[in-house]
Each structure stands twice: as structure tokens, then as C-alpha cells.
Amino acid sequence: MEIADAKRFVGQICEIHWHDRLGSEQRRVVQIEDVVFIPLYGGFVVTLDEDIRVDKIQRLVPAAGLMSDEQLGIDSAAA
């Protein structure tokens, strides 16, 4: 994944799959806060839980199709 691809998801709740530094596949549903480039380290997806290297991301998709509004904490009556 490239930084420009990841920036499309800023502000969204997404399901993200990546390989950690030990090579294990990780999966989380998080809100993407920002995507930044850090010199000497590369691109990172910033979430409330942790920062994930863009080059380690295997899959990044919006969680809206994966979870109900109730699970995402969205009040559907207000919409």
C-alpha cells in the first residue's frame, strides 16, 4: 500500500490487516486519524491504538460494510 492510497481512509473506521515486526498477521478495526511520512522511517497510518507502517499493511477497508451501526457506535435514529 502507498501513502496516497491510505490517505483516502483518514477519518473513517476501517478494518486493517498488517504484518507486525515478528511477521505475525494482525487485524483490528480502528479509526484512521492521519497518515504521515516520517523521514528515515517511512509512511505510517496513525490510529488511536497505535501507528502502523504503510508498507506492512496487507488490507485496509472501510468497516461500515463489515459491522452494524450499533457496533460502530452510530445512532441510526439521528440520521
Domain count, the chain: 1
Name the residue range of residue 34's domain.
3-66
Look up the pTM and report it: 0.74
- Whole-number percent of the chain with pLDDT over 90: 71
Q: Is the pLDDT of residue 70 over 90?
A: no
38: CATH: 2.30.30
Please give the average per-residue pLDDT across 59-74, as a whole number. 66
3-state secondary structure the chain: CCHHHHHCCCCCEEEEEEECCCCCEEEEEEEEEEEEEECCCEEEEEECCCEEEHHHEEEEEEHHHCCCHHHHCCCCCCC
- The predicted pLDDT at position 47 comes to 93
Q: Is residue 22 part of a domain?
A: yes
- The predicted pLDDT at position 63 comes to 84
- The predicted pLDDT at position 1 comes to 84
